[in-house]
């Protein structure tokens, strides 16, 4: 301060012919003591009552008035400035502080004569909040020294955290003015109760900072806490001496400043002989050089005696105190305000003019608030309407250097906005990775936050289960039915669509069976066509055989339609041919078994032939039965035109990754039952007739092979029903049901082909000698064989007592003589 006053007094431009003086008092950083000291500033303004006092000669006393104080520079501590400001405002004495940063001093209604060249802690708190946010910390504790500075700073930080959100206060602790033994250990233990809140925001004085660091070291918490210190810590060495490892990585903040080189030269030149005006310089000298002045240095065991020849910076370490710039700026701000006032009131009058004899504090305040000049660091010195300086801060970090020492390093600045070089930051043991101070780790993608009640920064992570995806930080939603969550569960994607592929094992086996069946059926048809006029082919009923073989062929061919990729055409053919092959087969077999049954039932009653047993009649009956199936299909087409759809429910597994949409034709289980139901009805009816005709001699026609065919077919379809419908809930439903249906159709066709036609083909190819005409047997003999009795006596009514007939197709004999048949079923095959 004296250095700044000396510079101003030497300046010919600033306050020319005016000399500034100063009365400097020590506040001892105690507000109560400072209040007593501040009374000396206002003594000249207090009128003393001398009416009751008389001199020895009876005259009134003459009181010596102290010099009038026009302005006050200080104090450093906010609590002291607040106490002093309350006194000075009563006497309208302007006050400029160089270090008090308590936010409440910005209240212009209470501290209207107070100004400061440092920004308030509200700016500092905002800067510290920006640092915490930039670090990604959302769970911190606060620690304040009892008093205006510490409590107001923490209050400002907490207020900002509530307004902006995103940062939660785990604990807010206060250090008492007079802490008891073990108090700092208790504070460390309490901070460890919320161990996730590693970051500690500190608004504390130097001594409290030092003792907190020592307590952390004593409790083996070196490296655990992430200290964020206010400007009371700044870049000071004293709080970290002996606590370097505990303090390593600490981030501190300090109003932007620069070292004043001229002051360094001035202070290094100070000695006991040339700085007697500073009444505290001797005390500094003893502490700085570790010696004692006077006779104390001669006592045994006492520090050495000071010689007075010691030199600052040579015989002791020296570092410019961080507040030098602001002290000088505060003095210069007062000088510039007086200069403006002198220019306005004195109009170029050298020295003090009469108008400035009694300076109006309110007028001087207006000039203080209006100053605008470059300070000792080259930065503008200005005040806002509340007397606050703009917020400009340097951000420091206490780091290790390559020389295994530690020092403060500038890592960023704050001027209403944070500029932080995160890459320049180091943590314990030079680790550049950013430590965490969070209540809960961030949820992974696909997880939502479930906030802990009352603590918005603490949450549990819950995974979006099933077909839900993360729609926001706190909620999950269900994907549309045709979609599933993506791999990260942050969105939805279309469920893959599948169909039965030709190369699938579920398709290869049915196709293989079907191809064998088609080849065998084609071979039988070709053989029958080749030997169409032979007795065996004619005896089997050529017309009905070709109808039955067509049905067998269709039963095999439907496999390819069932496996083919669904489209409108494929779906249409599926509807038509799904039940048509069986309908062809069982309509033909039913007609044949019905004919056999009617013939032998008629034979029990009379020798007259039943009606509708000719080949033409049989074809009409067969196609009439088939037309019912076709009519049902056409009605189905009209009511519900064929189309494809994707069934997302069939393979909608619990694990969405395995979910598939199945491309299908619109053939429901009910539609399938209706389509096959008619054919199954024909099959059951045919089986009934096969049972009824089981007594027909095996030498006559195909009654027994048809019976065996129908019994086997019924077994196949009885096995089909539980397999097909029992797998309706299976994830492999499409494969199992399609394979089961196609194999059942192929097996049914194979049974019919194998039992009814393979023996005939075998005889035709390997035993052609048996494929020759035989003598026609009499109807009487046939009827007798069928009824197992000889009660049929009506043959005597015919010539020679013989009733000629044939239950097989008429076979040409080698004789060309004309045959006379009286009761004959010639050309009617059973």
In the predicted model, what is the mean pLDDT of the chain? 84
The reported pLDDT for the residue numbered 200 is 96
pLDDT(111) > 60: yes
Tokens of 421: 């070089």
704 Cβ neighbours under 8 A, 6+ residues apart: 694, 696, 698
Residue reference for tokens 């785990």: 170
Q: Is 3 left (phi over 0), alpha (psi -120 to 50) or beta?
A: alpha
**Is the Cβ–Cβ distance between 266 and 3 less than 8 Å?**
yes
Chain-centre distance of CA 436, in angstroms? 20
Q: What is the DSSP letter of 201?
A: E
pLDDT(806) > 50: no
CA distance 744 to 683: 14
Question: Which of 227-231, 440-444, 459-463, 790-794 has the lowest average pLDDT?
Answer: 790-794
The reported pLDDT for the residue numbered 64 is 60
Mapping DSSP onto H, E and C, the string for 451-480 reads EECCEEEEEEEEECCCCEEECCCCCEEECC
Domain 2-48+63-117+320-376 classification at class level: alpha beta
Rounded to an integer, the average pLDDT of 399-405 is 78
Rounded to an integer, the average pLDDT of 160-188 is 92
Per-residue pLDDT band at 114 (split at 50, 70, 90): very high
Residue 669 burial by Cβ neighbours in a 10 Å radius (0-12, 13-18, 19+): exposed
Per-residue pLDDT band at 801 (split at 50, 70, 90): very low
Residue reference for tokens 């952390």: 216
Chain-centre distance of CA 77, in angstroms? 48
Rounded to an integer, the average pLDDT of 375-402 is 90
**Is the Cβ–Cβ distance between 203 and 176 less than 8 Å?**
no
The closest alpha carbon to 128, from 216, 215, 250, belongs to 250
564 Cβ neighbours under 8 A, 6+ residues apart: 570
The reported pLDDT for the residue numbered 809 is 37
The model's pLDDT over 36-82, given as tens digits with 9 standing for 90+, comes to 888 877 776 665 555 566 677 767 666 666 677 899 998 998 889 99
Per-residue pLDDT band at 820 (split at 50, 70, 90): very low
**Is the Cβ–Cβ distance between 790 and 810 less than 8 Å?**
no
Per-residue pLDDT band at 691 (split at 50, 70, 90): confident
Q: What is the DSSP letter of 238?
A: G
Cis preceding linkage at 75, omega within 30: yes
CA distance 816 to 179: 142
The closest alpha carbon to 90, from 145, 38, 150, belongs to 38
**Is the Cβ–Cβ distance between 503 and 563 less than 8 Å?**
no
Measured CA to CA in angstroms, residue 182 lies from 151, 200, 206, 448, 705 at distances of 22, 19, 18, 43, 107
pLDDT(532) > 50: yes
pLDDT(699) > 50: no
Residue 799, SS3 per DSSP: helix
What percent of the chain lies above the pLDDT cut of 70? 86
The reported pLDDT for the residue numbered 697 is 60
CA distance 763 to 525: 15
726 Cβ neighbours under 8 A, 6+ residues apart: none
The model's pLDDT over 7-34, given as tens digits with 9 standing for 90+, comes to 999 998 999 889 999 989 888 888 888 8
What fold is seen in the domain 121-256+392-430? Rossmann fold (3.40.50)
The closest alpha carbon to 773, from 803, 800, 806, 740, belongs to 806
Tokens of 803: 């009733």
Per-residue pLDDT band at 463 (split at 50, 70, 90): very high
Measured CA to CA in angstroms, residue 85 lies from 38, 40, 155, 311, 677 at distances of 9, 14, 21, 38, 104
Domains in the chain: boundaries: 2-48+63-117+320-376, 121-256+392-430, 447-494, 505-689+738-770
Per-residue pLDDT band at 780 (split at 50, 70, 90): very low
The kind and range of the H/E element at 420 are strand 418-420
Residue reference for tokens 């096969």: 690
Rounded to an integer, the average pLDDT of 184-199 is 94
Tell me the HSE value of 614 on the side-chain side, using a 13 A CA sphere.
5
Tokens of 97: 């502080």
Measured CA to CA in angstroms, residue 687 lies from 555, 594, 752, 799 at distances of 19, 10, 13, 40
The reported pLDDT for the residue numbered 608 is 67
Rounded to an integer, the average pLDDT of 638-664 is 87
Tokens of 71: 């302005």
The reported pLDDT for the residue numbered 802 is 32
Measured CA to CA in angstroms, residue 235 lies from 124, 256, 330, 435, 604 at distances of 15, 11, 21, 22, 127
Per-residue pLDDT band at 803 (split at 50, 70, 90): very low
The reported pLDDT for the residue numbered 673 is 83
CA distance 292 to 29: 25
Residue 756 burial by Cβ neighbours in a 10 Å radius (0-12, 13-18, 19+): buried
Fold match between domain 2-48+63-117+320-376 and domain 121-256+392-430: yes
Rounded to an integer, the average pLDDT of 387-403 is 88
* Other CB atoms within 10 A of residue 604 CB: 12
Tell me the HSE value of 393 on the side-chain side, using a 13 A CA sphere.
33
Tokens of 551: 């049905």
Rounded to an integer, the average pLDDT of 258-262 is 89
**Crossing angle (nearest 10°) for helices 324-346 and 2-10:** 40
Q: Please work out, in degrees rounded to the nearest 5, the angle formed at the alpha carbon of residue 130 by the alpha carbons of 125 and 131.
A: 95
Q: Is the pTM of this model over 0.75?
A: no
The reported pLDDT for the residue numbered 464 is 92
The model's pLDDT over 465-504, given as tens digits with 9 standing for 90+, comes to 999 999 998 899 999 999 999 999 999 999 999 888 888 8
Question: Which of 341-355, 487-501, 510-524, 700-714 has the lowest average pLDDT?
Answer: 700-714
The kind and range of the H/E element at 407 are strand 406-414
Residue 689 burial by Cβ neighbours in a 10 Å radius (0-12, 13-18, 19+): buried
pLDDT(797) > 50: no
pLDDT(825) > 70: no
The reported pLDDT for the residue numbered 822 is 30
CA distance 430 to 410: 16
Sign for the pseudo-dihedral over CA of 31, 32, 34, 40: positive
The reported pLDDT for the residue numbered 28 is 86
Rounded to an integer, the average pLDDT of 369-393 is 92
The reported pLDDT for the residue numbered 647 is 86
Q: What is the DSSP letter of 441?
A: P
The model's pLDDT over 122-139, given as tens digits with 9 standing for 90+, comes to 899 999 999 999 999 999
Bridge partners for 483 per DSSP:
494
Residue 279, SS3 per DSSP: coil
């Amino acid at each position: 301060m004296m250095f700044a006053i000396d510079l101003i007094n030497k300046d010919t431009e600033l306050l020319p012919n005016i000399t500034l003086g100063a009365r400097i008092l020590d506040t001892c950083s105690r507000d109560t003591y400072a209040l007593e000291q501040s009374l000396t500033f206002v003594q000249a303004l207090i009128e003393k009552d001398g009416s009751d006092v008389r001199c020895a000669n009876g005259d009134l006393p003459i009181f010596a008035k102290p010099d009038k104080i026009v302005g006050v520079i200080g104090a450093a501590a906010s609590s002291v400035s607040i106490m002093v400001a309350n006194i000075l405002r009563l006497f309208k004495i302007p006050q400029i502080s160089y270090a008090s940063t308590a936010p409440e001093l910005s209240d212009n209604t209470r501290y209207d004569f107070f100004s400061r060249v440092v920004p308030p802690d509200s700016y500092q708190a905002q800067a510290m909040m920006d640092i915490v946010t930039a670090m990604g910390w959302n769970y911190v504790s606060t620690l304040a020294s009892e008093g205006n500075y510490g409590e107001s700073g923490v209050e400002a930080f907490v207020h900002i955290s509530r307004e902006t959100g995103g940062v939660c206060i785990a604990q807010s602790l206060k250090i008492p003015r007079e802490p008891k033994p073990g108090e700092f250990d208790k504070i460390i233990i309490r901070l460890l109760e919320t161990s996730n809140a590693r970051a500690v925001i500190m608004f504390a004085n130097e001594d409290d900072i030092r003792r907190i660091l020592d307590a952390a070291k004593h409790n083996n918490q070196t490296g655990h806490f992430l200290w964020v210190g206010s400007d009371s810590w700044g870049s000071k060495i004293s709080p970290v001496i002996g606590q370097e490892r505990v303090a390593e990585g600490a981030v501190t903040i300090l109003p932007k400043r620069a070292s004043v080189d001229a002051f360094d030269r001035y202070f290094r030149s100070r000695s006991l002989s040339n700085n007697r005006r500073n009444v505290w310089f001797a005390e500094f000298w003893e502490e700085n050089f570790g010696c004692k002045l006077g006779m104390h240095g001669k006592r045994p065991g006492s520090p050495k005696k000071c010689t007075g020849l010691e030199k600052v910076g040579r015989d002791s370490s020296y570092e410019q105190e961080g507040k030098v710039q602001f002290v000088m700026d505060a003095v210069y701000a007062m000088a510039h305000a007086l200069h403006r006032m002198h220019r306005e009131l004195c109009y170029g009058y050298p020295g003090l003019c009469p108008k400035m004899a009694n300076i109006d504090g309110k007028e001087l305040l207006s000039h203080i608030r209006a100053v605008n000049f470059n300070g000792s660091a080259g930065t503008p010195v200005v005040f806002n309407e509340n007397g606050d300086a703009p917020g400009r801060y340097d951000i420091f970090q206490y780091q290790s250097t390559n020389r295994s020492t530690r020092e403060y390093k500038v890592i960023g600045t704050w001027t209403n906005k944070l500029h932080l070089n995160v890459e320049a930051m180091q943590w314990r043991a030079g680790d550049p990775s950013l430590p965490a101070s969070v209540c809960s780790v961030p949820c992974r993608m696909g997880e939502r936050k479930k906030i802990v009640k009352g603590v918005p920064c603490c949450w549990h992570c819950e995974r979006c289960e099933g077909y839900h995806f993360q729609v926001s930080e706190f909620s999950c939603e269900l994907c549309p039915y045709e979609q599933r969550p993506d791999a990260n569960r942050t969105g939805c994607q279309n469920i893959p669509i599948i169909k039965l592929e030709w190369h699938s094992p579920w398709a290869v086996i049915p196709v293989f069976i079907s191809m064998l069946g088609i080849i065998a059926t084609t071979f039988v048809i070709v053989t029958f066509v080749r030997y169409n006029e032979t007795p065996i082919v004619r005896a089997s009923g050529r017309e009905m055989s070709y109808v039955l073989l067509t049905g067998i062929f269709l039963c095999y061919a439907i496999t390819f339609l069932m496996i083919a990729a669904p489209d409108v055409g494929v779906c249409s053919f599926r509807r038509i041919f799904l039940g048509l092959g069986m309908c062809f087969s069982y309509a033909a077999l039913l007609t044949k078994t019905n004919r056999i049954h009617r013939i032998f039932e008629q034979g029990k009653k009379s020798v007259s032939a039943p009606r509708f047993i000719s080949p033409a009649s049989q074809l009409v009956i067969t196609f009439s039965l088939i037309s019912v199936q076709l009519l049902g299909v056409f009605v189905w087409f009209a009511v519900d035109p064929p189309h494809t759809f994707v069934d997302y429910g069939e393979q909608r597994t619990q694990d969405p990754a395995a979910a598939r949409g199945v491309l299908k034709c619109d053939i429901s289980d009910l539609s399938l039952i209706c389509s096959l139901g008619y054919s199954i009805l024909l099959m059951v009816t045919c089986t009934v007739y096969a049972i009824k005709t089981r007594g027909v001699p095996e030498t006559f026609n195909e009654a027994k092979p048809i019976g065996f065919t129908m019994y086997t077919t019924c077994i196949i379809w009885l096995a089909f029903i539980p397999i097909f419908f029992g797998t309706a809930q299976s994830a492999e439903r499409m494969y199992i049901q399609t394979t089961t249906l196609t194999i059942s159709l192929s097996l049914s066709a194979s049974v019919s082909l194998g039992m009814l036609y393979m023996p005939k083909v075998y005889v035709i190819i390997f035993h052609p000698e048996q494929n020759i005409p035989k003598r026609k047997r009499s109807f009487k003999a046939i009827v007798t064989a069928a009824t197992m009795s000889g009660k049929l006596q009506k043959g005597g009514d015919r010539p020679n007592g013989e009733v000629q007939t044939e239950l097989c197709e008429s076979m040409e004999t080698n004789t060309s003589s004309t045959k006379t048949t009286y009761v004959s079923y010639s050309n009617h095959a059973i």
